[in-house]
Amino acid sequence: MAPTERIFSGIQPTGQKHLGNYIGAIRQYVEGQDRGEGIYCIVDLHAITVPHDPSDLRERLYDTTAILIAAGLDPDRCILFRQSDVKEHTELCWLLAAVTAWGDLNRMHQFKEKSEQQRELVSAGLFFYPVLMAADVLAYRATEVPVGDDQRQHIEVMRDIAERFNARFGDVLQVPAGRYPEVGARIMNLQEPASRMSTTYGSEQGTVYILDEADAVRKKVRSAVTDSGTEVRRAPDKAGITNLIDILSVIREVDPERIESDFEGSGYGDFKGAVAEAVVSYLTPVRERYAELRRDEGAIEATLAAGAEKARAIASDTLADVREAMGIGPPRR
């Protein structure tokens, strides 16, 4: 069975990775290496559930891999691999479909949001996305899934699937728990603080990309939408300032209350300036390391292949147990 702490999470290789991805997910991946066995997957199979350009997908996958390593993931201390290299994910997805409720999938918020954007075709793959996500995690009997706040519903469905499978076929699958950042679980767009930071939604000017140059970061943070007041504090009617406080508290590794105290009596201009410089310092080492790593695609492929081999060894054991429990294939001797 799984070790005390086996941590799994996946990240899409689409779009440019931004500060919200870093704070909400990537930072947790790096910390997970010190808490247990970390298994991290670049989910290219999920990426094809919406229209995509094949050559661009591969380029973005290399980008994402390089960013993860630049941010601190160490392939010698964790398992880092490409989802499509481990075929056990797709087989387990189909087997789990037998214990997945259609109604659960029909209620998924992200399916409703993304399907509204698809003018030509809403794919069955997009509808089935949560089952594949469940297979991604359950294949490794992970105990913990570090994700952003927007993934809570997916974690709930994943747990329901595992519990339903175990109730019907025996105690085979580990029921995982989601792990969400206490602060920064939902970083918002700097220009539209009612919407989360995203490469799909919201303004470009309000999205800080991990690979943005320092001057671009400063400009975006300094021009963040706030409110007509001057007090640096969190409040329901101060969404922009609340977002900036959360960002700075994560970077400084202090409670948001400490940020409010440190900037008591300061104006928004000084506060935004401090946040801007903190974000620049936070992202610059990653951007510089990324530039070194990204040039060697052969090394990136070698890293992903080595990770896939380690991942396959774990996932194949789970699949064997699932097939046996469900009566699929020849019986074990």
- DSSP label at residue 97: G
Strands of the chain, DSSP E? 6-11, 37-42, 78-82, 144-146, 177-179
pLDDT at residue 4 in the model: 67
CA 305-310-312 angle, 5° bins: 90
Tell me the per-residue pLDDT of 137-174, one tens digit each, with 9 for 90 and over: 999 999 999 887 778 888 999 999 999 999 999 999 99
pLDDT of residue 1: 43
Count CB-CB contacts under 10 A for residue 328. Answer: 12
By CB atoms closer than 10 A (0-12, 13-18, 19+), residue 76 is exposed
- Quick one: tokens of 310? 């380690």
Q: Do 170 and 325 form a contact (C-beta atoms < 8 A)?
A: yes
Q: 304, 319, 332, 321: which is closest to 87 by C-alpha?
A: 319
pLDDT in tens, 238-261: 999 999 999 999 999 999 999 999
- What's the confidence (pLDDT) of residue 184? 67
Q: What angle do CA 14, 18, 24 make, to 5 degrees?
A: 100
Report pLDDT for 28: 86
Please tell me whether residue 11 adopts helix, strand or coil conformation: strand
* Strand 78-82 versus strand 6-11 pairing type: unpaired
* DSSP run (H or E) holding 30: helix 27-32
Each residue's pLDDT tens digit in the chain (333 positions)? 444 689 999 999 987 899 999 998 898 899 889 888 999 999 999 999 888 899 999 999 999 999 999 999 999 999 999 999 999 999 999 999 999 999 888 888 777 777 777 767 888 888 899 999 999 999 999 999 988 777 888 899 999 999 999 999 999 999 999 888 776 668 999 999 988 888 776 688 999 999 999 999 999 999 999 988 889 999 999 999 999 999 999 999 999 999 999 999 888 999 999 999 999 999 999 999 999 999 999 999 999 999 999 999 999 999 999 999 999 999 887
The pLDDT value given to residue 162: 97
CA neighbor of 57 nearest in space, from 76, 35, 42: 42
Residue 238, pLDDT score? 93
CB 86 within 8 A of CB 315: yes
Give all domains of the chain, ordered by start, each with its CATH number: 6-184+296-326 (3.40.50.620), 214-291 (1.10.240.10)
Give the pLDDT score at 3: 46
